[in-house]
């Protein structure tokens, strides 16, 4: 079939955010919208002769259409080979694993992560580079610049590829290999964890409930937990990826995974609960009647990492996004390893991992991962916890309480104010920025402020600088309030207010987080005037 060159006109709104380009399906479905973005990407990438690309997504609505479109455009770009997951399916961590295993030049992930799916939901696309991680800002900004001046598309009129048949076929001289989406990822997990110990744990009657939230994590969790590790059938629930996630909001936090929380607080609760998000890179871990905060999860994993075979040599260092609690910093200090503080978004961890300076990293937004891939990895985190429970014989709750006893509890919460009109959100942030120079050494709402700034990050590996990564107000006792606007939303703006207070007193470790954080909520309000500016009396989501 001939390669076609078609005229197109630019869209002005194709700037990738925290994690690629995310828009409503209705936006992506406009004529040439997806094509323009892919062409802008291909124009920015070098010549593809002889190169391999990995392609797959979380199976949400529009996934299949997008896969077929991209295959035709990849052929026109001149790729030698595209590896695509069966059915167009690959979880985000699996894309990363496949890129690395096959030494591909990069990959395209089709996902809007934890955002709702379906015809009225969201769709997304992002590019990952040869290390398996999200493209750095210099690439995403170049793609955006190119998208604004694009005038031609290159594609072909080849018929659709049979995505449900494993094996090879050709699209205009390019080899397309439809691969098992799970195999490479599952093999990698087997090299990291003590599968025999986890198998014995399940054989001894340990009960896990893994809620895949009707999203892409299902096939991976079923194959590894119920298949390889012998967990009873039915351990993984909501295991079939659905185009609209069955109406669920596939974001694993106690609000959205309320069914899991109900099971974990019931009289006959399983020993451990877990959930993953739309593209299976996020995770939530729950003990019996005990929710683990993501920041604590990272700290527990770091504290006990050497019990897990893949990490027995010890950790080079750890990293967390700036708003993530300082629990892992405290563990790192005890271990005598470096702890890096990066801006929000996984792309900032890649350089540190490639340079061998960091082994584990995580974010407060239910993301945890390690240098085994260059994405956060939901099922990996759950396997890590299972391995720790098997190795220590301790419950999920006991492991967290041990952390608190050793380091104090970092009481933590994030308050989200969603769908604020963009101009109001911008005004709120501008108002905060204007106060920054005068806040240090003052007392506001009874809180003594030590430092107030707009977080800027200089990458220690390549020296690149990222400015305006969130406003942080740090009190003299180390408590913090952080304000930033989401870079992944698709409706207006979302204000995130992150609250952290350290509680060293063991007698107060069971304090309810929202109660403990009330003084910081009052501080946030008096600094940002959220109610007056947004008209919202309460956050839309508190996690």
Residues near ligand G1P (CB under 6 A): 18-19, 113, 321, 344-346, 363, 365, 367, 486-488, 496
| Shortest distance (Å) from residue 487 CB to ligand G1P | 4
Nearest by Cα to 244 from 110, 63, 112, 117: 117
The site partner of 39 among Zn ion, ligand G1P, none (C-beta below 5 to 8 Å per kind) is none
Name the strand (E) or helix (H) holding 424.
helix 422-439
Considering only residues 392-421, where is the footprint of Zn ion by CB under 5 A?
Answer: none
The site partner of 251 among Zn ion, ligand G1P, none (C-beta below 5 to 8 Å per kind) is none
| Shortest distance (Å) from residue 538 CB to ligand G1P | 19
Residue 502 sits at φ, ψ, to 5 deg, of -90, 130
Between 39 and 365, name the residue whose CB sits nearer to ligand G1P.
365
| Shortest distance (Å) from residue 156 CB to ligand G1P | 33
Q: In Å, how far are 253, 464, 485, 527 from 421, measured between CA atoms?
A: 25, 32, 12, 19
Torsion, CA 443, CA 447, CA 453, CA 457, rounded to 10? 160
Cα gap 493→420, rounded to integer Å:
5
In terms of C-beta distances under 8 Å and separation of at least 24 residues, what long-range contacts does 437-440 make, across chains too?
A: 439/473, 439/527
Number of residues forming the site for Zn ion (CB under 5 A): 5
| Shortest distance (Å) from residue 488 CB to ligand G1P | 3
The site partner of 277 among Zn ion, ligand G1P, none (C-beta below 5 to 8 Å per kind) is Zn ion
Describe the chain by its helix, strand, coil percentages, rounded to 5: 35, 25, 40
Q: Which of 91, 105, 113, 158 is catalytic?
A: 113
| DSSP 8-state assignment for residue 450 | E
The site partner of 19 among ligand G1P, Zn ion, none (C-beta below 5 to 8 Å per kind) is ligand G1P
Cα gap 346→20, rounded to integer Å:
11
The site partner of 116 among Zn ion, ligand G1P, none (C-beta below 5 to 8 Å per kind) is none
* Contact flag: residue 113 with Zn ion (CB under 5 A): yes
Q: Which stretch binds Zn ion (CB under 5 A): 269-277, 396-404, 504-512, 522-530?
A: 269-277
Between 122 and 194, name the residue whose CB sits nearer to ligand G1P.
122
Cα gap 100→187, rounded to integer Å:
13
Between 338 and 487, name the residue whose CB sits nearer to ligand G1P.
487
Between 223 and 528, name the residue whose CB sits nearer to ligand G1P.
528
The residue written with tokens 């969790």 in the block is: 221
The site partner of 246 among Zn ion, ligand G1P, none (C-beta below 5 to 8 Å per kind) is none
| Shortest distance (Å) from residue 5 CB to ligand G1P | 35
Cα gap 13→221, rounded to integer Å:
36
| Shortest distance (Å) from residue 426 CB to ligand G1P | 15
Contact criterion met (CB below 8 Å) for 16 and 126: yes
Q: Which stretch binds Zn ion (CB under 5 A): 106-114, 185-193, 268-276, 451-459?
A: 106-114
The site partner of 488 among Zn ion, ligand G1P, none (C-beta below 5 to 8 Å per kind) is ligand G1P
Contact criterion met (CB below 8 Å) for 319 and 361: yes
Between 88 and 345, name the residue whose CB sits nearer to ligand G1P.
345
Cα gap 196→405, rounded to integer Å:
30
Nearest by Cα to 386 from 216, 221, 541, 214: 221
Considering only residues 277-296, where is the footprint of Zn ion by CB under 5 A?
Answer: 277, 279, 281-282
Cα gap 49→110, rounded to integer Å:
23
Select the residue whose beta carbon is closest to ligand G1P and give its number: 486
Q: In Å, how far are 14, 33, 97, 366 from 112, measured between CA atoms?
A: 15, 16, 19, 15
| DSSP 8-state assignment for residue 17 | B
The site partner of 486 among Zn ion, ligand G1P, none (C-beta below 5 to 8 Å per kind) is ligand G1P
Between 230 and 254, name the residue whose CB sits nearer to Zn ion.
254
Between 276 and 486, name the residue whose CB sits nearer to ligand G1P.
486
Residue 187 sits at φ, ψ, to 5 deg, of -65, -40
The site partner of 415 among ligand G1P, Zn ion, none (C-beta below 5 to 8 Å per kind) is none
Between 333 and 422, name the residue whose CB sits nearer to ligand G1P.
422
| DSSP 8-state assignment for residue 226 | I
Nearest by Cα to 284 from 260, 309, 268, 265: 260
Active site residue 276: no
Task: Give the burial class of 391: count Cβ atoms within 10 A of its Cβ; 0-12 exposed, 13-18 middle, 19 or more buried.
Answer: middle
| Shortest distance (Å) from residue 519 CB to ligand G1P | 24
Q: Which stretch binds Zn ion (CB under 5 A): 6-14, 62-70, 111-119, 316-324?
A: 111-119
x/- site string to Zn ion, residues 291 to 330, per CB under 5 A?
----------------------------------------
| Shortest distance (Å) from residue 113 CB to Zn ion | 3
| Shortest distance (Å) from residue 116 CB to Zn ion | 13
Contact criterion met (CB below 8 Å) for 385 and 289: no
Residue 382 sits at φ, ψ, to 5 deg, of -65, -40
Between 54 and 161, name the residue whose CB sits nearer to Zn ion.
54
Cα gap 145→469, rounded to integer Å:
21
Select the residue whose beta carbon is closest to Zn ion and give its number: 113
Residues that bind Zn ion (CB under 5 A): 113, 277, 279, 281-282
Q: Which residues are catalytic?
A: 113
């Amino acid at each position: 079939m001939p390669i076609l060159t078609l005229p197109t006109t630019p869209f002005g709104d194709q700037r990738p955010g925290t994690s690629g380009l995310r828009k409503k399906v209705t936006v992506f479905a406009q004529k040439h919208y997806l094509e323009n973005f892919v062409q802008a990407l291909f124009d920015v990438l070098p010549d593809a002769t002889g190169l391999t690309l990995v392609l797959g997504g979380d199976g949400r609505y529009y996934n299949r259409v997008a896969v077929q479109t991209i295959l035709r455009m990849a052929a026109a770009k001149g790729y030698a080979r595209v590896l695509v997951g069966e059915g167009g399916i690959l979880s985000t961590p699996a894309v990363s694993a496949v890129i690395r295993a096959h030494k591909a030049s990069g990959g395209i992930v089709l996902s809007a992560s934890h955002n709702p799916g379906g015809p009225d939901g969201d769709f997304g696309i992002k590019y990952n580079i040869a290390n398996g991680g999200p493209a750095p800002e210099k690439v995403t900004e170049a793609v955006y610049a190119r998208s604004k001046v694009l005038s031609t598309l290159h594609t072909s009129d080849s018929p659709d590829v049979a995505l449900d048949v494993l094996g090879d076929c050709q699209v205009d001289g390019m080899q397309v290999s439809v691969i098992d989406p799970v195999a490479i990822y599952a093999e990698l997990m087997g090299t990291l964890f003590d599968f025999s110990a986890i198998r014995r744990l399940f054989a001894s009657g340990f009960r896990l409930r893994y809620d895949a939230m009707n999203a892409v994590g299902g096939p991976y969790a079923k194959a590894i937990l119920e298949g390889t590790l012998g967990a009873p059938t039915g351990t993984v629930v909501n295991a079939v990826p659905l185009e609209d996630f069955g109406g669920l909001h596939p974001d694993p936090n106690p609000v959205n995974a309320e069914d899991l929380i109900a099971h974990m607080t019931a009289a006959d609760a399983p020993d451990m609960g877990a959930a993953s998000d739309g593209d299976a890179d996020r995770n939530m871990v729950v003990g019996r009647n005990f929710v683990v905060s993501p920041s604590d999860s990272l700290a527990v994993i770091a504290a006990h990492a050497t019990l897990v075979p893949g990490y027995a040599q010890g950790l080079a260092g750890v990293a967390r996004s700036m708003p993530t609690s300082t629990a892992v910093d405290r563990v790192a200090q005890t271990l005598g390893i470096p702890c890096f503080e990066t801006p929000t978004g996984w792309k900032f961890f890649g350089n540190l991992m490639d340079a061998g300076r960091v082994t584990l990293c995580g974010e407060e937004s239910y993301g945890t991962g390690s240098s085994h891939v260059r994405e956060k990895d939901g099922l990996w985190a759950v396997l890590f916890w299972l391995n720790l429970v098997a190795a220590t014989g301790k419950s999920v709750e006991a492991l967290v309480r041990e952390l608190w006893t050793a380091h104090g509890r970092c009481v933590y919460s994030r308050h989200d104010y969603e769908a604020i009109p963009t101009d109001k959100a911008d005004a709120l942030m501008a108002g905060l920025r204007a106060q920054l120079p005068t806040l240090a050494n003052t007392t506001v709402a009874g809180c003594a402020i030590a430092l107030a700034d707009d977080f800027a990050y200089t990458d220690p590996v390549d020296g690149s600088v990222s400015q305006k990564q969130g406003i942080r107000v740090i009190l003299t006792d180390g408590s913090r309030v952080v304000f930033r606007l989401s870079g992944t939303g698709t409706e207006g703006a979302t204000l995130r207010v992150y609250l952290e207070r350290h509680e060293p007193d063991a007698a107060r470790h069971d304090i309810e987080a929202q109660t403990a954080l009330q003084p910081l909520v009052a501080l946030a309000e008096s600094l940002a005037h959220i109610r007056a500016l947004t008209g919202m009396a309460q956050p839309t989501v508190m996690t």
